Amino acid sequence: MTRLLFREEPALLTFGATVTAAREGAAALDATAFYPEGGGQNGDVGVLRWNGGEVRVEGTRKGEGGVVWHELEGSGPGVGAVVTGEVDAARRWRNSQRHSGEHLLAQAFHRVSPAFAVAAVSMRNAESTLDLHGDPGEADVRSAEELLRETLARTPLTLDTPTVPSADLHRYPLRREAKVGGDVRLVIFRGPDGVPFDVSACGGTHVPHASMAAPVVVLRTERVRGGLTRVVFMAGEEAAEYLGGVYAGSRALAQEFSVPVGRLPERVAALSAERDAQRTEAAGLRARLARLLVGAAPAEELGGVSLRALTLDDPALLADVLAATPAGEVVAALAPGGRCGVGSAREDVPAGALLGRALEATGGRGGGRPALAQGTTLEPGAFLEAVRAALLAPRRPDQET
């Protein structure tokens, strides 16, 4: 069993220990300050040094019998070697801020509504997640954020990590039921009056004061399997850096639009409305141009069917041209890149079937509805002739084209 120094002295980052077991790419120690991966939190990384050697610790995991294995970048020390371990302080601090932020945000959601119970958590990346029951909406997210922001700003919450017998857990207002027995380590953030803000059974690392996890910011929510809502958030320095970057980008954009940052949403909304109006106008112009192009194309009588065949310069016009098929007629169109299609205003000449027969002859793929079908041909130069040939081929009265 490995003695867990990070539990006994959370601030300890450099320590001495003896190698108790070794295998390819890993070593176990009699004591460690490296936190092993678990509970949704990354394992610590750092360095092991010994007389005549040094190796990077790439990760730390729990093994059988309470042993903590240190995954090494290269060859490690042998059994019995005395080593000095050094935990990567920056990574530990980020992990601690994320984990503390998760506890605090989960409690804020719980206070908004007890229905928002935590189903799963992950603090593996800067964008950490809470999976919640109860389907919290945007208003609930904003309420939880505001509650937590006001709490951290006005109430100094200090970390307390007692280990208590499971029989005594009923004395503590646990946010989630503990899933372990025996002696249970609690993570409590409590105010100066001794009243806890959050109590959770947890073995992870945390910041000594809740305010050190601030700001805690919800980035977005997502629906995930099992009817859960995933809350994506950031905490601590990573959140501050992210928000600083967002503001810098917003400021640059606001300067380009010649408006203050606070009026940027208004300006974007105005530009979006202008864009939508231009799109509507452009769609109307394309439809009008398509009708003119189809009307200008000569009609050919083939097997009792009036066909208008067009070669287009712009593939964006293809769908509009096919939609402009005159009543009782058929339109075939070819566009750059082998884009092609058929429009039909005759029930006895389904567009999809006619396009399929033309593509059988010229290669390619496509399909669609009886009135309009599109695809891509491998032989653009032969496509329109293939449509003509398909219309001239003998058909039974009950046979689709």
* DSSP string across 29-81: ESEE-SPPSBTTBPPP-EEEEETTEEEEEEEEEE-GGG-EEEEESS--PPTT-
Q: Is the peptide bond before 215 cis (omega within 30 degrees of 0)?
A: yes
Residue 90 tokens read as: 């920056």
pLDDT recorded at residue 398 = 44
Could you tell me the CA-to-CA distances from 184 to 1, 163, 167 in Å, in that order?
Answer: 18, 5, 10
pLDDT recorded at residue 178 = 87
Instruction: Tell me the pTM.
Output: 0.75
> Are the C-beta atoms of 121 and 146 separated by less than 8 Å?
no
The residue among 313, 292, 377 whose CA lies nearest residue 342 is 377
Helix axes 89-112, 138-154, angle to 10 degrees: 120
> Are the C-beta atoms of 313 and 299 separated by less than 8 Å?
no
> 321-350: b or e for each residue (b if 16 or more CB lie within 10 Å)?
bbbbbeeebbbbbbbeebbbbbbbbbeebb
pLDDT recorded at residue 179 = 80
Tens-digit pLDDT string for the chain (401 aa): 999 999 999 999 999 999 999 999 999 999 999 999 998 999 999 999 999 899 999 999 999 999 999 999 998 999 999 999 999 999 999 999 999 999 999 999 999 999 999 999 999 999 999 999 999 999 999 999 999 999 999 999 999 999 999 999 999 999 998 888 789 999 999 999 999 999 999 999 999 999 999 999 999 999 999 999 999 999 999 999 999 999 999 999 999 999 999 999 999 999 999 999 999 999 999 999 999 999 999 999 998 999 999 999 999 999 999 999 999 999 999 999 999 999 999 999 999 999 999 999 999 999 999 999 999 999 999 999 999 999 998 754 444 54
Residue 337 tokens read as: 């890149």
Count of beta carbons in the 10 Å neighbourhood of residue 75: 12
pLDDT recorded at residue 396 = 45
Instruction: Give phi and psi for 206, each to the nearest 5.
Output: -145, 165
pLDDT recorded at residue 395 = 59
Phi-psi region of 46 (alpha: psi -120 to 50; beta: other; left: phi over 0): left
One-letter amino acid of 184: V
pLDDT recorded at residue 86 = 98
Instruction: Give phi and psi for 237, each to the nearest 5.
Output: -60, -35
> Are the C-beta atoms of 328 and 347 separated by less than 8 Å?
no
Domains and CATH numbers, the chain: 3-87 (2.40.30.130), 93-247 (3.30.980.10), 288-392 (3.10.310.40)
pLDDT recorded at residue 70 = 97
Strand partners, 222: 230
CA angle 328, 334, 339 (to 5 degrees): 120
Instruction: Give phi and psi for 102, each to the nearest 5.
Output: -60, -45
